[in-house]
Structure 1
Amino acid sequence: MTGENSPVVTRSAADFRMMRETLGLSQAWVARTVGVTTLTVVHWEDPREFALPRREAWDLVEDMWAEADRRAAAFVDMASKAVALARDNGIEPEPVMLSYWRDFKEHEIAHGDEDVTIAGFHLGRRGMMRLENASVRMAVDRLHALGIPLTVMYAEIEA
């Protein structure tokens, strides 16, 4: 049985790896967050190993996916409405601009100690930046499929 937040209907080693990589989560980060070794996560993703990810690891990845998906859907909704309004007025819209974080330090300066708890785990600034960038990657894919012009720029922080 999969979680209600999962984009897949199975919980295979490949499912876990695909979701982890799409979210931009390293094996080491997942390991630290759920309290296992990096080698354990490597084994979870190896189809030759009979080691399945812990429930907590699935909850973390699926809930992060759901949050990134929610944020991406909000980006797409706003962009779609803006583009439709422009086109309804006979104007070809400028590309929609999405912000992408370049590094953890800049994200920390912009957001301070902002922390979100997902599946009982505190993401911290590194997890938050990964989540925000994952939502942008998801939104880019959807906007492109909808034919909406877009560009991605590094997030700028105020000095």
Structure 2
Amino acid sequence: MVAVGETRSPFVSRSKADFRVLRESLGLSQAWVARRLKVSRATVVAWEDPNVFYPPRREAWELLEGLWALADARARSIVDMALSAARVARERGVEPAPLLLSYWRSKAQWSRVHDGHGGDWLAENPAVRMAADRLAVLGVPCSTVFAEDRP
């Protein structure tokens, strides 16, 4: 369990490949990471290039691991809710209907619906991908749908 404010990564080695996998798993571009950390895109490219001895700096790891921890916590919440709903359905003798997971098309759309509340845009879609993978392994049917704007 990750405590509030604590970061955790699925990787223990913190290799250049680990960094790239983590960045891509979160759906972040090299340019976005560079802007966020106030470095050039070429710097991020070097962090991920196995032929260049220039490892990602600590702040870069903290950024990605922090976002991953948020997504992981959200995914765990989704999985817990889905497992509870599936259990109730099965107790009633019904096979659970597929859980529909909302996938956001843009930050603007997510912001209109959440009005600054309800999580972190950057972690939401990765959380949905994580939850869908975990639910598939657990045999709980799910599907992703594009989220709809609601007033």
Q: Secondary structure at the match of 1:14?
A: helix
CA spacing shift, 1:158–1:55, aligned 2, 3 Å = same
- Using structure 1 for the length normalisation, give the TM-score: 0.86
Amino acid across the alignment from 2:138 = L
Amino acid across the alignment from 2:142 = L
Q: Secondary structure at the match of 1:99?
A: strand
Indicate whether 1:131 and 2:139 are aligned. Answer: no
Alignment partner, residue 108 of structure 2: 105
Amino acid across the alignment from 1:21 = E
Aligned length: 146
Indicate whether 1:146 and 2:149 are aligned. Answer: no
Cα RMSD, aligned residues only: 1.8
Deviation at 1:54?
1.0
Deviation at 1:89?
1.4
Deviation at 1:114?
5.7
Indicate whether 1:158 and 2:150 are aligned. Answer: yes
CA distance in 2 between partners of 1:144 and 1:155 (Å): 21
Indicate whether 1:17 and 2:49 are aligned. Answer: no
Residues 4-13 or 104-113, more deviating: 104-113
Query: Any gaps of 5 or more consecutive residues in structure 1?
Result: 117-127
CA contact (8 A) 2:104 2:146 kept: yes
Alignment partner, residue 58 of structure 1: 61
CA contact (8 A) 2:7 2:62 kept: no
Deviation per CA, 1:36-68: give whole Å up to 9, x if none: 111100110000010111100000101111110
Alignment partner, residue 90 of structure 1: 93
Q: Secondary structure at the match of 2:17?
A: helix
**Identity between Structure 1 and Structure 2 (%):** 51
CA distance in 1 between partners of 2:116 and 2:36 (Å): 17
Match among 4, 8, 18 for residue 11 of structure 2: 8
Match among 36, 40, 49 for residue 37 of structure 1: 40
CA spacing shift, 1:34–1:77, aligned 2, 3 Å = same
CA spacing shift, 1:113–1:6, aligned 2, 3 Å = same
Query: Any gaps of 5 or more consecutive residues in structure 2?
Result: 1-5
CA spacing shift, 1:141–1:64, aligned 2, 3 Å = same
